[in-house]
Every structure is written in C-alpha cells, then in structure tokens.
DNA sequence: TAATATCCGGAACACTGCTCCGCTTTGTCA
DNA sequence: TGACAAAGCGGAGCAGTGTTCCGGATATTA
C-alpha cells in the first residue's frame, strides 16, 4: 500500500518500469497457480517456467520465498484481519465472534495446501511469512480473545500467540484423510477454553 | 525383537557378518547423535561421516530414512506403548491414566527435535515412520480412550487417530519459544474432551 | 535518436537424497 | 593354512533443489 502507488507521490523517486510491473504480476499469478498445484513449496524453476520468466526475475521481485507467499495471499490475510472487528461488532456474544473468526482462519489455512506447514516450518525461508502473519493477525486475535474473556465466556490465561500457533499446528497436514479433521480438534480446544462457570 | 536374535533360530539361514553388525550399531549411534544435533533431517552424508562409513552402508542397513529414525527411537516407542496398559492398571481413574500416557507421549515428541515435524511431514520419506508410530501406539491410545469413555470421564466420539495426530501436530515446532508450550494446549484439548456431566 | 538506468535470463555453484558397481573383508571348507 | 565365494563397503555420479551473478536486452529520458 505504500510502494505500489505510482501517482503523485513526491517522495517516490521514480516509478517502476512497466515491464517490471508486468512481470511482477505475471509471477504472482503463476505462483498462485503453482501453489494450488504443488503447495507453497513449489520449485522456483517451476514457477518461473509457468510465468515464462527467468529465475532471476522472481528473486528480484521477491527476495525470499516468504515474500512471494505473502504477496500471493496478502488480500486474504487482510480480509481475515479485517473480519475480526467486524465480527465482534456484529455479534452479541464475543465468544461467537471468536469462534467464527477462527473458522475463517482455519478455512484459509486448510485451503492453501501446505500453508500451515510452511508457517511452522523449521526452515528460515519462511520466517518472514511467520512474522507477517503474526504482526497482522495476532492483534486481531488478541482483541477477540480479550473480549471473550471480559464477557466471561472463556477462562483467562490463554495467550493469543499460543492459541494462533496451536490452531495453525492443528491445520498441518496436506492430505484429505477423513479420519483427521482439524475443525473437530479446534472445537475441542475451544470447548476447553470455555469457563464452566459461565454461560 | 524378531530379527536381532542370532542365537539358535533354526529358521534364520545365517547370521550377519560381524563387521556388518558392528557397522549397523555404529551408524545407529552416529545417527542418534546427529538427530540430537541437527534433528531427524540431518543429512545422510553427515551421519556417514560421523560414523566413519560410506553412505552406501547406511542405505544398506536402513533403506529409508524412516527405518533409521525408527531404529534409533524403537526402544522409546516400545516403552511408551508398554506404559499404556501399565498406567491403566495402576490408576483408579482411566482419565488420569490417559492423561499421564499423553504426557509421556508429548515428552517423547518434544525432546526429539523435529520428530513431531517429521511425523506429519508431507514428504513420503517418513511415511513408514508414520505407519510404525500408528501401528504401535494407536491401539494403546484406543484402549486408554475407550476406558476413559466407558468410565464416563470423557465424552464419546473422539477417534484415537485424530487425537494422536492432533497431539502430534501440537508438538510441532523445534524452537523453545516460551510463548508456546504444547502442554498447555493439550491440556485445553483434554479439558474439552471431558464430559461436563460427569466427575 | 542516443545515452543510461533498469531489468531480464539462465548458467553456474552449493547442497541434498539416492543408486550403482568395482573393490575389500569375512566366513567356510578342504 | 590357503583359496574361494559370498557378503559388505565406499564413494563417484546422477538428479533435483535453492540461490547468486553478470553479460546482454529493454525501457525511459533527454
């Protein structure tokens, strides 16, 4: 939002060359397709071939893989972040808002093959992705969590970081094994979060 | 237990050469060290160098990485499996037995860096490891779970596979971030499992 | 149009898993 | 003991991946 606006920004020394802008978009599209087909681990060469560009082009626009993944999913991450306050405002029960937001978050993770895996990957390649997710979504989660605690629906003591990471972890696993549904376990988790002494 | 006994088995055509047995043990020791130092993803070349053998030797004794990991941790997996019935017999409350067994399981996973990650790895390299864990531990978990359900301590409906995999997933992440403790989330999970209508 | 800043492509390097086969060592039998 | 066959060993070599780098192509500007 700060660097993409070519119009009349006096601080911006110059706009990107049009071919560069075009390539950036082409790579983004190709990457999105490749991620669907092969997960966020799709080989760079494969993405480059699909986009019809060289590998160098991808690395110039997106120095790390996390940058590429972030760029591809930015809109959806933003949507998820913005849904938090909206849900809170639209529900009488903060707990219901929290639950629905988590549903959104889980849907996002499980439909992007390998995204949850990447988020918890031990490799440094995805560190920036991890950071971006946390920076953007953890405050939202914290707000919902606090509201639910304040309303007495859930017990205090659980930290937003831990909850988000736990949910993310439960979403790991790209197969469609019917024996494993992350949502059922997350449901259990939320149930365990409820304060038995409150409605 | 079936192939390691060289003594007097009439079905065994011949015992392994002593140098082969020695190498197998050397590799096992080196692998254990490497796993501690670099996780279960430690490069084969590295393990080979540490053991002072060629890569071919490792691949001959342990055709897949899962075989190597399995062999290294076999004793501990067995111990975990055998602890199940013992805990059940030693506790009045099946729920307490289940909880303690899960503690054991979690301790095992979190102390072996990257083991939980490997268990849920998308890669086929670890498929056999996954299978071994499940074959050996899922029946144990099922027994404990059934007993806890029968005693009325927890609600029915949760499958052992789902529970084990969920717990395994929660243990993923090799860092020691104090903000994330799998045990706290697993505690929440167990709390959600309890039948609110029972003691 | 000419000059130059920018960008592109992919060869090249490093690292990994894994296979394959010539050579070495061990066990056996006369 | 000596010789032979079977078993085992080592690591070169192939394939796939991430990442860097720079000569050449292209767009922009004067």
Q: Which H, E and C letters describe B83-151, residue by residue?
A: HHHHHHHHCCCHHHHHHHHHHHHHHHHHHCCCHHHHHCCCCHHHHHHHHHHHHHHHHHHHHHHHHHHHC
Contact A164, B184 (CB under 8 A): no
For residue B40, give the chain A residue with the closest CA: A122
Phi-psi region of A39 (alpha: psi -120 to 50; beta: other; left: phi over 0): left
Q: Which residues in chain B have their CB less than 8 angstroms from residue A188's CB?
A: 158, 189, 192-193
What are residue A11's DSSP bridge partners?
none
**How distant is the alpha carbon of residue A51 from its chain centre?**
24
A 153-172 residues with CB below 8 A of B? 158-159, 161-163, 165-166, 169-170, 172
Tell me, yes or no, if the two domains A10-63 and A64-199 fold the same way: no
pTM listed for this prediction: 0.90
Are B188 and A158 a contacting pair at CB < 8 A? yes
Nearest CA distance, A167 vs chain B (angstrom):
8
Test mutation, A40, A116, A120, chain B, max B CBs within 10 A: A120
Q: What class is the B10-63 domain?
A: mainly alpha
**How distant is the alpha carbon of residue B192 from its chain centre?**
25
Buried b (16+ CB within 10 A) or exposed e, A26-59: bbbebbbebbeeebbbbeeeebbebbebeeebbe
Q: How far apart are CA B167 and CA B106, in angstroms?
A: 8
Q: Which residue is nearest to nucleotide C18 (CA to C1')?
A: B59
Say if B196 is an interface residue toward chain A (CB within 8 Å): yes
* Biggest CA-to-CA distance, chain A: 62
Contact A115, A73 (CB under 8 A): yes
pLDDT in tens, B170-197: 999 877 789 999 999 999 999 999 977 6
Contact B122, A117 (CB under 8 A): yes
Q: How far apart are CA B138 and CA A13, in angstroms?
A: 62
Cα dihedral sign for B19, B20, B24, B30? positive
pLDDT in tens, A91-128: 999 999 999 999 999 999 999 988 999 998 877 889 99
Are B169 and A165 a contacting pair at CB < 8 A? no
Q: What is the pLDDT of residue A139?
A: 98
Q: Which nucleotide is closest to A123, CA to C1'? A: D18
B54 touches strand D (CB under 7 A): yes
Domain boundaries, chain B: 10-63, 64-199
Say if A195 is an interface residue toward chain B (CB within 8 Å): no
Rg, C-alpha atoms of chain A: 19
Domain B64-199 has CATH 1.10.357.10: yes
Report residue A121 as tokens.
Answer: 């990957």
pLDDT in tens, B44-89: 999 999 999 999 999 999 999 999 999 999 999 999 999 999 999 9
């Amino acid at each position: 939002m700060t660097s993409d606006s070519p119009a009349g920004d006096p601080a911006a020394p110059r706009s990107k060359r049009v071919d560069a802008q075009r390539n950036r978009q082409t790579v983004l599209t190709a990457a999105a397709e490749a991620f669907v087909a092969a997960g966020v681990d799709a080989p760079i060469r494969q993405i480059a071939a699909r986009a019809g560009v060289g590998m160098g082009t991808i690395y110039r626009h997106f120095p790390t893989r996390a940058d590429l993944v972030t760029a591809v999913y930015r809109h959806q991450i933003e949507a998820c972040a913005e849904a938090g306050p909206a849900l809170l405002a639209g529900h009488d029960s903060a707990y219901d808002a929290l639950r629905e937001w988590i549903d959104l978050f889980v849907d996002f993770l499980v439909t992007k093959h390998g995204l949850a895996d990447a988020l918890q990957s031990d490799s440094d390649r995805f560190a920036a992705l991890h950071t971006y997710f946390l920076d953007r979504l953890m405050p939202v989660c914290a707000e919902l969590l606090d509201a639910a605690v304040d309303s007495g629906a859930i017990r205090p003591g659980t930290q937003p970081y831990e909850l988000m990471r736990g949910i993310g972890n439960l979403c790991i696993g790209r197969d469609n094994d019917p024996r494993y549904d992350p949502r059922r376990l997350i449901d259990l988790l939320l149930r365990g979060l409820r304060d038995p002494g409150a409605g």
